[in-house]
Amino acid sequence: MTNRNFAGAYFEQAQAIYRELAGHYKKQEWHLVVRRAQETAELILKGFLRQAGIEVPRLHDVGNILKQEQKRLSSRLIKELPRIISISRRLRQERETSFYGDERQELPPSALYSQLDADDAKQDVEWLMKFIEIV
C-alpha cells in the first residue's frame, strides 16, 4: 500500500473514531472521549506523516518525529508545531489511564475524568482535524 493510500486510510479511521468520540460526549462518558481523542490525534498525525512520505514508527506519540522531520514540513505546519507536539504528548499521557484507570488508587477511568477533561481533548482534536484538513 502506498503512503497516500495509508494516509487516506488513517484519515478515514480517524474520522470514524471521532464520530465515536462525539457519541461518548453526548452520553457524558468523559474518559472515553479522552481515549478516543488520543486515538484520533494519533491517526491524524500518522496519516499526515505518511502523506509527507515519512515512515511512521510504532509509537503512540509521533510529535518528536514531526520535530525531527521539520525540514520536510510546510512553514504553516512548522509554525504550529509546538501546539501539535503538545497535543500529541498530552493525549498520549492519558492513553492508559483513560482506558484502565488508576490501579494504585483503585479508581476506574470513569471516576478520573470530568467534562473539562473531555472538552479539552475534544477541542484539541477538532483543531487538529481542521488544521491537517481531514474534515
Whether the pLDDT of residue 135 is over 60: the answer is no
- From first CA to last CA, the distance across the chain in angstroms is 23
Name the H helices within 27-62. Answer: 30-51
Task: Give residue-wise pLDDT tens across range 85-125.
Answer: 999 999 999 999 999 999 999 999 999 999 999 999 999 99
Q: What domains appear along the chain, each with residue ranges and CATH number?
A: 3-132 (1.20.120.330)
Threshold 0.85, pTM exceeds: yes
Partnered with residue 102 across adjacent β-strands are 107
Cα separation, 100 vs 81, whole angstroms: 30
Three cell numbers, residue 110 = 470513569
Instruction: Give the separation between CA 46 and CA 44, rounded to whole angstroms.
Output: 6
